[in-house]
Amino acid sequence: MMNINRIFLFLILGSIAVFASGAIEGEVTKQALNIPAIVMFVIFVGATLGITYWAAKRTKSAKDFYTAGGGITGFQNGMAIAGDYMSAASFLGISGLVYMKGYDGLIYSIGFLVGWPIILFMIAEPLRNLGKYTFADVASYRLRQTPIRILAAFGSIATVILYLIAQMVGSGQLIMLLFGLQYEVAVVLVGVLMILYVTFGGMLATTWVQIIKAFLLLAGATFMAVAVMAHYDFSFGSLFAHATELKGASIMSPGGLVSDPISAISLAIALMFGVAGLPHILMRFFTVSDAKEARKSVFYATGFIGYFYILTFIIGFGAIIMVLGNPQYLDVAKQAIEGGQPLLGGSNMAAVHLSHAVGGDFFLGFISAVAFATILAVVSGLTLAGASAISHDLYASVIKKGNVDSMKEMQVSKIATVVLGIVAIIMGIMFEKQNIAFVVGLAFAIAASANFPILFLSMYWRKLTTRGALYGGSIGLATAVILVILGPTVWVDLLKNEVAIFPYKYPALFSVVAAFIGIWFFSITDKSQSAKDEEAAFEAQFIRAQTGIGADGAVDH
Amino acid sequence: MHKDLVEKIKNDPNYQELVSKRSSFSLKLTIAMLVVYFAFILTIAFDPSLLGTPLSEGSVTTVGIPVGMAVIVFAFVVTGIYTKRANSEFDDLTNKIKDAVKEH
């Protein structure tokens, strides 16, 4: 314990040193140093490191590490899920999209919300009743451990790494702009802090970082939306009227986001079922004590996330009125070359500039610090999910066949966290100048086409066999990856080919269907003895999924 | 789980009631959510101008705004409806099943 404390102190001091040196460099470069933002961010980091220290003392077993001991309440978990889901990308990206395209931003955010009710009706309770630490626990419940765990861990790690790349690159660019720090410094800082939170504080620290961040983000966004609406006596009619005067009537109706029915359905499927296959989201359901708290979590999370999307819509419109055309926020250099009215830092900075317009330097600092905190919280959740796939699914279940003590497993998980953190830092620096628009889409496609079908059918389909899950899941995964590569975002935008071989941006319609058909076909044609045993084991699994009998702490025997 | 226990629970009328009621309720709400969302997104795909119709003569606010907001509110309301019924009716049934197992 003594030793851990010393390492902990060393790492805190180290990260402050990194931060301080970055701050000095920031002054040397031309970026304006944002003092209120840095002060507020340091307060946030101090508070969360304090929480991490507190959580570290309570994290004594693998169960504590992976699930915060299972003692998080439904409300807290709902807030933490919202914190996990409301990334900086969705806050800045969606408000930026509303700022640019108006109504299309709303269409996009609705897609991100509608997966939640489906998770509640289909996934949340059986997941809690059957699983322990990872969704692979559920998928492999009655199937053969080794192949299913490997496939599920692969799906988890792929999703996590893709998501991490997007977050790290986003964080580097964002922090460079907001705080005047160098890109590499920002990426290293995020990586180091995330490693600290997760290795020392495990799920307990990660959860509280997410809760605090969700609260700050909702409070900040509420303030901005109210400030915007107060200008218009809380009348949406006059807000929209003023915005259309500046930007034209087209912002009030659907634009080019959803162009043809195939793309529309494909995007809808990716978003709806993708959420239900994101490992860091699924893992959150193991932090609550039972199915009742799991369902309450989704109820609160859906409320917070829906409310947040309504706020981002108002914020986007507010930015059209208060930021667009304001010379203070204009990128003059870029305007000289490209014309138009480009924003400093790009259209994703719309919400940040609006925070300055409504609340001055102090509030700009607050929103900047919240955006940074948001990135930290999201990468922590992601890394923990990736680390548990490595330690719980691959190390404990596949390599050690379940014969491993809890302390050893936790140790492996911590090592995996550090490795993933370093990988994230390297990837973040490597991908700085790359076009990474496809990575989140690909993460969702994999989640929807590999993780979700296996998980869903393992819960509800009696005839699912190991062979079916393995082949079908692999087909879904491969189809998703290949179609993204052959589609417009990679084949044309990234690889600079003339025409995409696969014409649609979103592969989910094809890859999810391929996965389900593959799983179905290879299950029903599986006539082996193990297939019969797996079918016979369904009844007991289903009873536990429905009632929680046999699950952790549900029944005293 | 032991075979006898599986048989016992399987034949428990409370369990059968729980499974059939919850399955049909979840399925109905899932379909409702899918219908609402796909109706929304397919309207946009097939006829984008429909949601761009002004709410009233001369108004800048389009039909799409209340419709979009309604989809968000609908998603929240259906989770509320499910949670409320599950917290009372379904949990009561589950507790009865668990009590029966304890006596076993």
Domain edges within chain A = 2-433
For B77, the domain range is 14-103
Residues 6+ apart with CB under 8 A from A368: A34, A37, A40, A41, A178, A179, A352, A355
The DSSP secondary-structure symbol of A328 reads: G
The predicted pLDDT at position A354 comes to 93
pLDDT average, residue stretch A1-15: 50
The DSSP secondary-structure symbol of A120 reads: I
Contacts of A244 in chain B (CB under 8 A): 60
Torsion of CA A222, A186, A15, A388, to 10 degrees: 80
Give the residue on A whose Cα is nearest the Cα of B25: A121
pLDDT average, residue stretch A379-388: 94
DSSP assignment string, chain B = --HHHHHHHHT-HHHHHHHHHHHHHHHHHHHHHHHHHHHHHHHHHH-HHHHTSBSSTT-S-BTHHHHHHHHHHHHHHHHHHHHHHIIIIIHHHHHHHHHHHHH-
Residue from B20, B72, B84 whose CB has the most chain A CBs within 10 Å, to mutate: B72
Q: Does B9 touch chain A (CB under 8 A)?
A: yes
Cross-chain Cβ contact B61/A252 below 8 Å: yes
Residue from B3, B55, B69, B79 whose CB has the most chain A CBs within 10 Å, to mutate: B79
The predicted pLDDT at position A469 comes to 95
Residue from A94, A104, A110 whose CB has the most chain B CBs within 10 Å, to mutate: A110
Contacts of B40 in chain A (CB under 8 A): 110
User: How many domains would you assign to chain B?
Assistant: 1
Tokens at A221, concatenated:
């966004």
Q: Does B46 touch chain A (CB under 8 A)?
A: yes
Cross-chain Cβ contact A543/B51 below 8 Å: no
Q: Which of A31-35, A143-147, A168-172, A403-407 has the highest mean pLDDT?
A: A143-147
Looking at the predicted structure, is the pLDDT value of residue A235 above 70?
yes
pTM over 0.95: no
Looking at the predicted structure, is the pLDDT value of residue A474 above 50?
yes
Cross-chain Cβ contact B52/A554 below 8 Å: no
Select the residue of B42, B46, B79 nearest A299 (Cβ to Cβ): B79
**Length of chain B as a residue count:** 104
Looking at the predicted structure, is the pLDDT value of residue A28 above 80?
no
Other C-beta atoms closer than 10 Å to the C-beta of A386 total 30
Looking at the predicted structure, is the pLDDT value of residue A328 above 90?
no
- DSSP H helical ranges for A278-433: 279-283, 291-322, 332-338, 350-388, 406-430
Give the residue on B whose Cα is nearest the Cα of A548: B94
Looking at the predicted structure, is the pLDDT value of residue A555 above 70?
no
Contacts of B30 in chain A (CB under 8 A): 117-118, 121-122
**Reported confidence tier of residue B59, pLDDT bands at 50, 70, 90:** confident
The predicted pLDDT at position A263 comes to 84
pLDDT average, residue stretch A164-178: 84
Cross-chain Cβ contact B97/A554 below 8 Å: no
Give the residue on A whose Cα is nearest the Cα of B80: A299
Note whether A96 and A515 are within 8 A (CB): no
Q: Phi then psi for B54, rounded to 5 degrees?
A: -60, 145
Contacts of A296 in chain B (CB under 8 A): 83, 87
Looking at the predicted structure, is the pLDDT value of residue A554 above 50?
no
Cross-chain Cβ contact B48/A254 below 8 Å: yes
The predicted pLDDT at position A373 comes to 85
- Asked if the structure places residue B85 within a domain, the reply is yes
pLDDT average, residue stretch A137-150: 93
Q: Does B64 touch chain A (CB under 8 A)?
A: yes
- C-alpha closest to that of A433 among A251, A149, A173: A173
CB-count exposure of residue A376 (10 Å: 0-12, 13-18, 19+): buried
pLDDT average, residue stretch A102-117: 91
Residue from A321, A452, A547 whose CB has the most chain B CBs within 10 Å, to mutate: A547
Cross-chain Cβ contact A103/B76 below 8 Å: no
Q: Phi then psi for A330, rounded to 5 degrees?
A: -85, 140
Q: Does B96 touch chain A (CB under 8 A)?
A: no
- Asked if the structure places residue B36 within a domain, the reply is yes
Residue from A266, A289, A546, A557 whose CB has the most chain B CBs within 10 Å, to mutate: A546
The angle that helices A291-322 and A74-85 make with each other, rounded to 10 degrees, is 40
Cross-chain Cβ contact B38/A118 below 8 Å: no
**Reported confidence tier of residue A35, pLDDT bands at 50, 70, 90:** confident
Residues 6+ apart with CB under 8 A from A370: A213, A216, A217, A220
Window A:229-268, CB contacts with B under 8 Å: 236-237, 240-241, 244, 249, 252-255, 258-261, 263-265, 267-268
- Asked if the structure places residue B26 within a domain, the reply is yes
Window A:266-325, CB contacts with B under 8 Å: 267-268, 272, 291-292, 295-296, 298-299, 302-303, 306, 309-310
- For the ranges A435-444, A494-503, B47-56, B87-96, which has the lowest average pLDDT? A435-444
The predicted pLDDT at position A22 comes to 35
Give the residue on A whose Cα is nearest the Cα of B17: A546
- Report domain A2-433's class: mainly alpha
Tokens at A310, concatenated:
């309504």
Window A:146-165, CB contacts with B under 8 Å: none
The one-letter amino acid at A447: A
**Reported confidence tier of residue A7, pLDDT bands at 50, 70, 90:** low
- Asked if the structure places residue B50 within a domain, the reply is yes
Select the residue of B18, B72, B94 nearest A113 (Cβ to Cβ): B72
State the average pLDDT for chain B. 91
Q: Locate tokens 């890109």: which residue?
A: A183
Coil, strand or helix: which one is A72? strand
pLDDT average, residue stretch B37-64: 88
**Reported confidence tier of residue A5, pLDDT bands at 50, 70, 90:** low
pLDDT average, residue stretch A357-384: 89
Cross-chain Cβ contact B75/A106 below 8 Å: no
Cross-chain Cβ contact A252/B62 below 8 Å: yes
The predicted pLDDT at position A461 comes to 95
Looking at the predicted structure, is the pLDDT value of residue A529 above 50?
yes
CB-count exposure of residue A127 (10 Å: 0-12, 13-18, 19+): buried
pLDDT average, residue stretch A179-208: 90
Q: Measured between alpha carbons, how far is A129 from A142 in angstroms, rounded to an integer?
A: 14
Cross-chain Cβ contact B1/A309 below 8 Å: no
Residue from A108, A299, A304, A533 whose CB has the most chain B CBs within 10 Å, to mutate: A299
**Length of chain A as a residue count:** 557
pLDDT average, residue stretch A149-162: 94
Q: Locate tokens 């983000």: which residue?
A: A217
Task: Write out pLDDT tens, residues A304-319.
Answer: 999 999 999 999 999 9
Looking at the predicted structure, is the pLDDT value of residue B66 above 60?
yes
CB-count exposure of residue B61 (10 Å: 0-12, 13-18, 19+): middle
Looking at the predicted structure, is the pLDDT value of residue A13 above 80?
no
- Asked if the structure places residue B8 within a domain, the reply is no
Cross-chain Cβ contact B41/A122 below 8 Å: no
Cross-chain Cβ contact A259/B45 below 8 Å: yes
Residue A411 distance to chain B (closest CA, Å): 31
Residue A457 backbone zone (phi > 0: left; psi -120 to 50: alpha; other: beta): alpha
**Angle at CA of residue A70, ends A69 and A71, nearest 5°:** 90
Other C-beta atoms closer than 10 Å to the C-beta of A525 total 12
Task: Write out pLDDT tens, residues A341-359.
Answer: 788 877 888 898 999 999 9
Residue A386 distance to chain B (closest CA, Å): 29
